[in-house]
Amino acid sequence: MAATETCDLLVIGSGAGGLSAAVTAAHLGLKVLVVEKEAQYGGTTAWSGGWMWVPRNPLALDAGIFEDIAQPTAYLRQELGAQFDAERVQAFLAQGPRMVEFFRSQTALQFIDGNSVPDFHGRNPFAAKGGRSICAAPFDGRRLGAHIQQLKPPLAETTLWGMGIASGAELRHFFNAMRKPASLWYVSQRVLRHCADLLRYRRGMRLVNGNALVAGLAASAFAQGVEIRTNSPAQRLLFEHGCVLGAVVDGSEIRARRGVVLACGGFPFDAARKQELLGHAHWSAASRSNTGDGLRLGESAGGQVACDAVQAAALAPVSLVPQKDGSFAHFPHLIERAKPGLIAVTANGRRFTNEADSYYDFVRGMLAATPAGAPVQAWLVCDHAFIRHYGLGAVKPAPMPMGAMLRNGYLQRGNTLADLALACGIAAANLHATVQRYNQQALEGRDADFAKGETPYNRVQGDAEAGLANPCMAPLAQGPFYAVKVVPGSLGTFAGLRTNASAQVLDARNQPIPGLYAGGNDMHSVMGGSYPSGGITLGPAMTFGYIAAHHAAGVDL
């Protein structure tokens, strides 16, 4: 064993939950060390959209959007049902706005508002049409100096030549680049800057989405003297007399005077835990290094992993993108499903859900529509105009070519619907009938089968600029037709270590284990396995990291 090293707070994992705790603790005067088993820091957060659900946040207040804490509380109480944990929900809702104000006033991390982003379930009377979401603001990677080289880049399949594209107005510019001169100009400038960055720095320097969130947190951590040590896997906790005193990391003993924060990203690539808690085939879009380390470490000290979540994972449909080495990347379908001119069908050729609903609800629809023992899968089907305008999964819109995706089998094409059905193994007669019925409903602007486009969230995800009666519906009119197969996946896991409102890990007697905290996806989701709005992973991750740091520092909130 190497010589003992000491710090005040040891954070295991470098995603949003871990870095939020690290930055906050350092600001409170603690000596903090962050250890990360990968060669790069950022975890799944660096691949994410960077959105956080934080009701009553300061950016909403600045815009004149005020609501009593009772409103989001009521929304969550109705959404979570039996999984509603009043103590933790109240801690999250009370401290979330304070967390945002701390970071935007005291650190390098800044935010943009999501004041027009609705909650997922607009039929809930307590849902909001906006004001509860924020996202990391774009960040200049040059501010990280040499540390930029260890920042995990965005997920390659969701970028253009490695260039992250921010959701909202920027993404609309990319969709409209071949239609609107102003959008073409914007996209050209973005691409030229990215190419210049590649030549000079070997990566893009205008960071957006989750990459910007990690960069802002990391820059703030470095400014406070926090070390983020990569290639440093945690092997076991130092647990003595019922108290966690540190951990063995890469063969070295690290003593932590104020405790250890487990923030290792959950268990999306822990085969045994997935079999136990998910019970179906599952292809996660999360970081492949998230193999359940934090959960096992917590259990070794007496922590309990929740097994009663509504869903153990943050479900999302993914498609399997062939790679040159024979492996498959997992592309999360978060954007195009709500755009007008796309339907989703199972092998029987029939629609099974509202394609414009949340990714979580879409996969739940897949699971419900699949007979017992059959593979859980569906096809996203569109026509030529759609794919050239919006793209389809990993297939980019025009003018990007799609020949390689046709050749490797990721994308299927048919001159007619019957040809497409044959290529995909879909019941041809049913597919033809489904498209006919859908096209008629699209012309009328009303989905009589699944109410597509009838909630604020549906409409925001659609295309208001298309000038249609329903921004989520347009006929599949002109061949050739295209399809991509999707399977159940996730953006991460929900089931984690049980904690109290201070983010302390609880033992079998529901008592806190001294010196042990959990954050991010190592903490059992405060949403109990439900998914009421976008950002309900990162919002609580940032908030409970902030809470854990205060508790470890002995500072009241």
DSSP per position, 192-234: HHHHHHHHHHSS--EE-HHHHHHHHHHHHHHHTT-EEE-S--E
For 449-464, the pLDDT digits (tens) are 999 999 999 999 999 9
**Residue-level pLDDT at 268:** 97
Of the pLDDT bands very low, low, confident and very high (cuts 50, 70, 90), residue 125 is: very high
Burial class for 514, CB neighbours closer than 10 Å (0-12, 13-18, 19+): middle
Instruction: Identify the sign of the CA torsion 197, 202, 205, 206.
Output: positive
Instruction: Tell me how far apart the alpha carbons of residues 177 and 174 are, in angstroms, rounded to a whole number.
Output: 5
Mean pLDDT within 44-58: 98
Mean pLDDT within 64-72: 98
**Residue-level pLDDT at 3:** 58
The domain ranges of the chain are: 163-202, 315-490
Give the pair of three-digit tokens for residue 205.
């320097």
pLDDT at 491 over 80: yes
Instruction: Tell me how far apart the alpha carbons of residues 325 and 21 are, in angstroms, rounded to a whole number.
Output: 38
H-assigned helices in 408-530: 417-424, 428-444, 456-461
For 86-105, the pLDDT digits (tens) are 999 999 999 999 999 999 99
**Residue-level pLDDT at 2:** 55
Mean pLDDT within 471-495: 97
pLDDT top residue among 240 and 280? 240
pLDDT at 1 over 80: no
Domain 315-490 -> CATH class: alpha beta
**Residue-level pLDDT at 280:** 81
pLDDT at 441 over 70: yes
pLDDT at 279 over 90: no
CA atoms within 13 A on the CB side of 170: 17
Q: Strand 252-262 to strand 133-136: parallel, antiparallel, or no bridges (unpaired)?
A: unpaired
Instruction: Tell me how far apart the alpha carbons of residues 14 and 273 are, in angstroms, rounded to a whole number.
Output: 22
Contact 526, 269 (CB under 8 A): no
For 211-222, the pLDDT digits (tens) are 999 999 999 999
Give the pair of three-digit tokens for residue 153.
């880049």
Give the pair of three-digit tokens for residue 236.
């076991």
> What value, to the nearest 5°, has the Cα angle with vertex 344 and ends 446 and 329?
140
pLDDT at 264 over 70: yes
**Local structure of residue 122 (DSSP, 8 states):** T
Of 503, 550, 382, 415, the C-alpha closest to 87 is 503
pLDDT above 70 coverage of the chain, percent: 99
**Residue-level pLDDT at 409:** 97
**Residue-level pLDDT at 210:** 98
Of the pLDDT bands very low, low, confident and very high (cuts 50, 70, 90), residue 253 is: very high
Instruction: Identify the sign of the CA torsion 120, 319, 282, 341.
Output: positive
Of 410, 384, 389, the C-alpha closest to 400 is 389
Of the pLDDT bands very low, low, confident and very high (cuts 50, 70, 90), residue 550 is: very high
**Residue-level pLDDT at 166:** 94
pLDDT at 223 over 90: yes
Mean pLDDT within 342-358: 98
pLDDT above 90 coverage of the chain, percent: 98
pLDDT at 167 over 90: no
Backbone angles phi, psi at 234, to 5 degrees: -85, 130
Mean pLDDT of the chain: 97
